[in-house]
């Protein structure tokens, strides 16, 4: 598929199910990605979930495997798929890559072209549109380093959803909360012409 901005509608053959890579990183909001995976899967999307090493401390691959009925890829089980390294196959086959929740660390790695994990390898290898939904403490979000990384990624065509303001798990009130999952799902599904009401 030709590289395009994440905001564009994704055109694909009607018979084929959309394929979305869902990257989950080590935020306290990682558990909310389970609802996102479930919503996308129930709406008819093939969801390939990728967990970072640290994300596995917050939520297990088993949860996502049960919700998506697909293998979940982590650094512990990455191997070869269809004669290519899994990260290349997943990057090539994705119609959209979304990272939700995205940590400050993941955003920094992606902005600077670092690829220490399966997820970051996919982000660098894919030509599919990429959507990032950050979640972090407000001071981390507003730090000039994070903001510069976000701007860099936006300039490269990466779409950001959120974060929103509210009471944060760290005890602070402010910006940094993961955008409501139902709305993230709605925005992703809309890119494939799927209405969330059909779920
Ligand atoms: C309890 C706890 C909650 C955390 N929540 C967040 C978070 O919401 N956002 C964030 O950017 N980092 C958060 N961190 C820090 C990340 O887990 C840490 O930077 C980690 O190395 C990120 O790994 P990853 O980006 O490879 O998934 C948290 C750490 C702990 C221990």
**Model confidence at 16, in pLDDT bands (50, 70, 90)?**
confident
Q: Which domains does the chain have, with CATH numbers?
A: 19-198 (3.40.50.1950)
The token pair at 33 is: 């990605």
Distance of alpha carbon 122 from its chain centroid, rounded?
Answer: 11
Q: Whose CA is nearest to atom 20 of ligand 1?
A: 26
- Residues sharing a CB contact under 8 Å with residue 62, sequence separation 6 or more, in sequence order: 72
Residue 199 has pLDDT above 60, yes or no: no
- Residue 140 CA: distances (Å) to CA of 98, 112, 135, 176: 21, 17, 10, 8
The lowest-confidence range among 5-19, 26-40, 76-90 is 5-19
Please give all residues whose beta carbon lies within 6 A of any atom in ligand 1, as ranges. 25-29, 52, 54-55, 103-106, 135-136, 140
Which of 8, 80, 167, 170 is labelled catalytic?
Answer: 170
What pLDDT, in 10s, does the model give residues 28-59?
A: 999 999 999 999 999 999 999 999 999 999 99
The token pair at 153 is: 């990624």
pTM of the entire structure? 0.93
Residue 56 known to be catalytic: no
What three-state secondary structure class fits 15?
A: coil
Closest CA to 131 of 99, 95, 91: 99
The token pair at 187 is: 């925005």
Task: Give the nearest ligand 1 atom to 55 CA.
Answer: 27
Which of 103, 111, 123, 163 is the best mutation target for the ligand 1 pocket, counting ligand atoms within 8 Å of the beta carbon and taking the most?
103
What pLDDT, in 10s, does the model give residues 160-171?
A: 999 998 887 777
- Residues sharing a CB contact under 8 Å with residue 155, sequence separation 6 or more, in sequence order: none
């Amino acid at each position: 598929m030709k590289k395009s901005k994440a905001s564009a509608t994704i055109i694909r053959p009607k018979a084929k199910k959309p394929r979305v890579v869902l990257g989950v990183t080590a935020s306290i909001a990682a558990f909310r990605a389970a609802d996102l995976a479930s919503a996308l899967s129930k709406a008819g999307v093939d969801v390939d979930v990728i967990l970072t090493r640290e994300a596995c401390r917050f939520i297990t691959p088993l949860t996502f495997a049960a919700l998506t009925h697909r293998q979940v890829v982590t650094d512990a089980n990455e191997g070869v798929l269809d004669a290519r390294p899994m990260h290349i196959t997943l990057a090539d086959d994705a119609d959209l890559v979304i990272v939700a929740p995205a940590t400050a660390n993941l955003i920094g790695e992606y902005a600077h072209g670092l690829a220490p994990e399966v997820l970051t390898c996919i982000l660098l290898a894919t030509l599919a549109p990429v959507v990032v939904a950050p979640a972090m403490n407000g001071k981390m979000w507003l730090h000039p380093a994070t903001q510069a990384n976000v701007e860099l990624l936006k300039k490269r065509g990466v779409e950001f959803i959120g974060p929103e303001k509210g009471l944060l798990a760290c005890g602070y009130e402010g910006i940094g909360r993961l955008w409501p999952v139902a709305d993230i799902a709605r925005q992703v599904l809309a890119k494939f012409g799927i209405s969330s009401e059909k779920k």
